[in-house]
């Protein structure tokens, strides 16, 4: 470990495993923005003989790993991608309607008593 808190290590085992990592403190001294960052990789041979290598980063966004053997999500459909872009654009412009209740400060007029109220008369369905 270095005096600034950063570190680096690597090793290999007799059975072919390899590990390496580096880490540091991101935004040191900046309240609410400090984050530990670790980047590294490890590799080994799977029981079926397949070589496995994983590279990763761990930071304020979480742990993210990549490797040829790891599944990948399907692509985002075009319509959903476009909707996400429109949402991001509206957020930037401050025009996104979040559905929250926002009372409008308008004065509502009460009906004037001098106006006649409309009355509707309906005939009785049956007369006896």
| pLDDT value of position 1 | 79
d(CA 51, CA 69): 9
| pLDDT value of position 60 | 92
- In-domain check, residue 66: yes
| pLDDT value of position 123 | 63
User: Percentages helix, strand, coil for the chain, rounded to the nearest 5?
Assistant: 10, 30, 55
| pLDDT value of position 128 | 52
| pLDDT value of position 38 | 97
Which uninterrupted H or E stretch holds 91?
A: helix 78-93
| pLDDT value of position 74 | 92
- In-domain check, residue 51: yes
- In-domain check, residue 2: no
Count up the domains in the chain and report the number: 1
- In-domain check, residue 104: no
- In-domain check, residue 80: yes
Q: Enumerate residue ranges in the chain where pLDDT < 50.
A: none
- In-domain check, residue 88: yes
Distances, alpha carbon 81 to alpha carbons 10, 74, 75, 87, 100, in Å: 40, 13, 10, 10, 24
- In-domain check, residue 44: yes
Supply the range of the domain harboring residue 71. Answer: 7-93
Model pTM? 0.56
- In-domain check, residue 18: yes
């Amino acid at each position: 470990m270095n005096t600034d808190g950063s570190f680096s290590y690597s090793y290999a085992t007799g059975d072919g495993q390899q590990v390496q990592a580096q880490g540091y403190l991101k935004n040191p001294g900046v309240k609410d923005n400090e984050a530990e960052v670790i980047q590294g990789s490890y590799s080994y041979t799977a029981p079926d003989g397949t070589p496995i290598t994983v590279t990763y980063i761990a930071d304020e966004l979480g742990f993210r790993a990549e490797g040829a053997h790891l599944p990948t999500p399907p692509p985002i459909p075009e319509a959903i991608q476009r909707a996400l872009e429109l949402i991001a654009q509206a957020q930037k412009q401050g025009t996104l309607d979040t559905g929250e209740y926002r009372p409008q400060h308008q004065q509502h007029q009460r009906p004037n008593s001098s106006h006649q109220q409309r009355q509707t008369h309906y005939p009785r369905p049956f007369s006896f």
